[in-house]
Amino acid sequence: MELIKIGAPMGIMYCVEVGFFFALTLIMGSLSSQLLAANQVALQYMGTLMSLIFSIAQAITVRMGHLLGSRDIVSAERACYVGVFLSAFLMIIIGSLYWCIPSTLISIDFDVHNPDNFELVQLATQLLAVSAFFQLFEAMRIALFGALRALKDTRFTLFISIISFWGLALPVGWLLTTRLNLGGTGLWWGMVLGAGFSVLLLFWRFKFKIRNDYAHHFS
C-alpha cells in the first residue's frame, strides 16, 4: 500500500505536466504555425536538457534516502541543497548559451540564413531567451521533487504541480498573450511565474518536513 501511496501521486503528476505541455502546444499552434515551430525548438532543448536534471533528482532521492536511513538529518539536508545548487548552476550555463548563441542552436533544426525562416528564427530566439529563466526554476523544482520523494512526500508535489501549471502558469500566460499582446513569449513568462512559485513552496515544504517531522521522529 505504501508503494501505491507514494507512487500514485507521482504518476498523476506526470500526466498533469504532460497535459499542460500538450495544451501549450495546441495554443501555440492556434496562434500561428511559425510560432508552433519556434515553440518546438524551445521544447526540444528543454526536454533534452531536463534529462540531466531528472538524473540529479534521482541521485538526490537515493542519497537522501541512505542518509535518512542512517539518521543523519544534517547531511541529508545538505545533499538536497547541493543537488539544487548543481541543477541551477547547470541551467545558468545552458541559459547563457540561449542568450549568447541562439542562432547556432536554432540552426540545428532550421536554416537561419534562409529569408523564408526569418520570422521563425526571431520567434525561436525570443522563446529561447525566456525559456532560459523557466529552465532555471524548473531545474530547481525537479531537484526539490527528488528531495521530497526521499521524505515520502509526493502528494504535496502533485498539488503544487496542479496549482503552478494549471492554476497559475496557463491563466497568466494566456492573459499576457491575449491582453498584453506578448505572443508566445507571454505563455512562457506565465510558465516562469508558475515554476518560480512552485520552487518557493517546495523549498518551504522541504524545510518544514526535514526540520519538524523527521528531526522530531529521530530525536
Q: What is the pLDDT along the chain (219 residues), one digit of tens a residue?
A: 777 888 898 899 999 999 999 999 999 999 999 999 999 999 999 999 899 999 999 999 999 999 998 888 999 999 999 999 999 999 999 999 999 999 999 999 898 889 989 999 999 999 999 999 999 999 999 999 999 999 999 999 999 999 999 999 999 999 999 999 999 999 999 999 999 999 999 999 999 998 886 655 555
Q: What share of the chain is helix, strand, coil (3-state, %, to 5)?
A: 90, 0, 10
Q: CA-to-CA distance for 207 and 219, rounded, in angstroms? A: 17
The answer to whether the CB of 173 falls within 8 A of the CB of 111 is: no
61 Cβ neighbours under 8 A, 6+ residues apart: 146, 147, 149, 150
Q: What pLDDT, on the 0 to 100 scale, is given for residue 105?
A: 93
The pLDDT score that the predictor gives to residue 137 is 97
**Is the dihedral angle over the CA atoms 203, 5, 54, 138 positive or is it negative?**
negative
Which cell goes with 145?
A: 521533487
Radius of gyration from C-alpha coordinates of the chain: 19
User: Tell me, what's the pLDDT at 219?
Assistant: 54
**Structural contact between residues 141 and 199, judged by C-beta atoms closer than 8 angstroms:** yes
Closest CA to 140 of 72, 203, 66, 215: 203
What cell was used for 132?
532560459
- Show Cβ contacts of residue 28 under 8 Å, excluding neighbours closer than 6 positions: 35, 36, 39, 184, 187
- Sequence-distant (6+) residues with CB within 8 A of 128 are 41, 42, 45, 98, 99, 102, 105, 106
Residue 87: its pLDDT value, please? 97
Q: How far apart are CA 116 and CA 163, in angstroms?
A: 40
